[in-house]
Amino acid sequence: MIIYIPITLKPSGYSFHDFPRQSNRKGGGTGILARDCYNVSQICADEKISFEFSIWLVKWNNTKIKLCIIYRPPFSENHPVSTNTFFTEFEEFLEDNIMSDESLCIVGDFNIHMDFKENPDQLKMNDILTSFGLIQHVCSPTHQSGHILDLILTRNCGDLELSSPNPGYFISDHCFLNTTVNLQRSDVSKTTIEFRKL
């Protein structure tokens, strides 16, 4: 679940970038709260039938991360969309975004129970992630019901190093996930200057 942060609650030194839900359904939207030292720009954002997303380019020194934020509402009377529709749309989404020069990180509330080994939805999701060379990093429950619904995905080529995500406090029925991304500092350039005393 993506939590909206009123501008008055935004911590000093941070900026909030968001993409509000465009359809008629109440609430929703995706966003990113980032330190001012990071250069954040929106690449694109949209709503599919089964999920909504925003894609951001996060720059820091020589590091660039393509950050994709996903929100898939659960099946309900207001959103009667099957997981099969989501899987089809998510595969198309990955085909469009998996090949990028930047490091790739996909995060969000997928509302798929990733802790039931025999769950057909989890098996299908794992097949998709494997076929696209993605790793799912979250191993601890992220929902108050004790299930893993929120995911952090990166490519398995190791272009982005993450610490194991730890669940934080609950601000809703979902908890925050805390992880550290290892961003390489830019190399200090060295210049040799030759001179003679005049």
pLDDT in tens, the chain (198 residues): 444 455 556 788 988 888 888 777 666 788 888 899 999 999 999 999 999 999 999 998 889 999 999 999 989 888 899 999 999 999 999 999 998 889 999 999 999 999 888 889 999 999 999 999 999 999 888 877 778 888 999 999 877 888 888 777 777 777 777 788 876 544 445 556 666 665
- Name, in order, each residue with C-beta under 8 angstroms of 148's C-beta and a sequence gap of 6 or more: 113, 114, 115, 138, 139, 140, 141, 142
Backbone phi and psi for residue 42, each to the nearest 5 degrees, phi listed first: -80, 130
pTM score above 0.85: no
Question: Residue 127 is encoded by which pair of tokens?
Answer: 């097949």
* 142-180: burial string, b at 16+ Cβ within 10 Å, e else: bbeeebbbbbbbbbeeeebeeeebebeeeeeebbebeee
> How far is Cα of residue 131 from the mean position of the Cα atoms in its chain?
19
For residue 92 the two structure tokens come to 């198309």
